[in-house]
Amino acid sequence: MAKLRMIRGGSDQSPEDYREKLKKHRIMNVYRTCIFIVLILVILLIIYARFQSHVYTGYEVIASGDRTASESQKDMRLGRSILSFSHDGAHCIDGSGKTVWDQGYEIQDLRIAICDGTVAIASYNGRDIYILDETEKLGSFKTNLPIRDIAVANTGRVTAVLNSNDAVLINTYSPSGDLLYSGQMHMSGSGYPVDLALSPAGNLLCVSFIYVDAGTVKSTVAFYNLTEVGDNYTDFLVSSYDYTDLVVPEVGFLDDSTAYAVGDERFMIYKGSDQPESIGEHLFSDEVKSVFAGGGYLGLVFRSDDPEAKYRMDVYDSSDSLVGKYNIDFEYTDVLFEDSDLVIYNETRCLIYTYHGKVKFDDSFRNPVRLLVSTDNAYRYVVSTSSSVDTIRLN
């Protein structure tokens, strides 16, 4: 049997030299890793810069589905789908033109509230409320008093302003009609509710009230917390803000912790998921023509002082920071806020800005457009017309 022997080789390297070489090797590895990361970041920045600088000059239709829409029907965005409604019913259409659901009713004076992918439909002075989302019908129920206004959360929770003989009730219901919260307001005390909104999760309710005090018009923007937090406050009222000589006809939420209120001479931003606080007030002298909100942004449209543009839209984010001012040189019908772009359009023309103010697209539609809906893919949209639902891709 062969015998094994271990041969020990000699070395002049001391332990200190070995540790020094190991240290240098590790430092070189760190340098190489840093250089590799920097190169990747540079490549990504170059790709992003080229993407941002690219201007689209047209579009192509990559998918199309047939539909028939009458002039009496109107279209609204419902998440990534299309809500088409009239006085005798509503239906939801997906991006391929397929009908997801139909809801029949007979309503002359419609009240429609939408929050992301959920809609509530009711009749002014009626008693029926229908709650639906872009995939199914969530529920319907009757109120015991005539309806004046409604608001809905993305969860299907709905708040209704109901008219009583000597007071106004503001009740919040589950989609099946279970009464969750109720409040009573008297004109001589709280004032009359002008507008209301629920946060997407349905935890906060914002109401704008108007009243006259000693001959002076005053408004109150009130926040109600409809969770266990609100149980610690009288009538769930967690915060309120009073404004003299100001009418506040519109309130809403940018997200679950950011609300806004737009008056006839200023607008306000409020922050807080439990007890909203005012974080900014902005005065303006020009009349607000339109208010748009979505994607965490608030846009106010004014008449423009620029002779080459009809309108100017000031856009703010949920931190109350001015994102930019954008000129609009045509009669728009809708505005769509995306992650990196601002889409302004009417039935014949579409203008897309980056939030940095660069025009990415400015072209005409081939057919009159009723509604434009964003998709999960950048610069790809679903477009509804009277006869089709098309998916288009900018090029």
**Would you say 195 and 250 are in contact if contact means Cβ atoms under 8 Å apart?**
yes
Residue 163's closest CA among 141, 143, 139? 143
Q: What is the H or E stretch that residue 23 is in?
A: helix 15-53
Residue 220's closest CA among 255, 185, 254, 257? 185
pLDDT of residue 38: 79
Query: For residues 120 and 106, what is the distance between their CA atoms, to the nearest angstrom?
Result: 15
pLDDT (tens digit, 9 = 90+) per residue, 194-235? 999 999 999 999 999 999 888 899 999 999 999 999 999 998
The amino acid sitting at 363 is D
Domains and CATH numbers, the chain: 71-360 (2.130.10.10)
Q: Residue 190: which pLDDT band, with cuts at 50, 70 and 90? A: low
pLDDT of residue 2: 46
Q: How far apart, in Å, are the Cα atoms of 190 and each of 70, 135, 183, 231?
A: 43, 38, 11, 20
How is residue 118 written in tokens?
A: 């959920």
**Would you say 109 and 121 are in contact if contact means Cβ atoms under 8 Å apart?**
no
pTM as predicted: 0.86
pLDDT (tens digit, 9 = 90+) per residue, 228-268? 999 999 989 999 999 999 999 999 999 999 999 999 999 99
Query: For residues 285 and 302, what is the distance between their CA atoms, to the nearest angstrom?
Result: 10
pLDDT of residue 24: 74
SS3 382: strand
How is residue 316 written in tokens?
A: 């703010």
Q: Which long-range contacts (CB under 8 A, 24 or more apart) does 188-191 make?
A: 190/220, 191/218, 191/219, 191/220
The mean pLDDT of the chain is 91
More reliable by pLDDT, 62 or 25:
62
Q: Which long-range contacts (CB under 8 A, 24 or more apart) does 339-342 make?
A: 339/295, 340/378, 342/297, 342/299, 342/313, 342/315
The amino acid sitting at 282 is H
Q: Which long-range contacts (CB under 8 A, 24 or more apart) does 136-144 make?
A: 136/100, 136/101, 137/101, 137/103, 138/175, 139/174, 139/175, 139/176, 139/177, 140/177, 141/173, 141/176, 141/177, 142/177, 143/171
Query: For residues 313 and 66, what is the distance between their CA atoms, to the nearest angstrom?
Result: 35
**What are residue 71's DSSP bridge partners?**
none
**Would you say 139 and 131 are in contact if contact means Cβ atoms under 8 Å apart?**
yes
pLDDT of residue 41: 74
pLDDT (tens digit, 9 = 90+) per residue, 138-167? 999 999 999 999 999 999 999 999 998 878
Would the pLDDT of 44 be above 80?
Answer: no
pLDDT of residue 19: 72
pLDDT of residue 193: 94
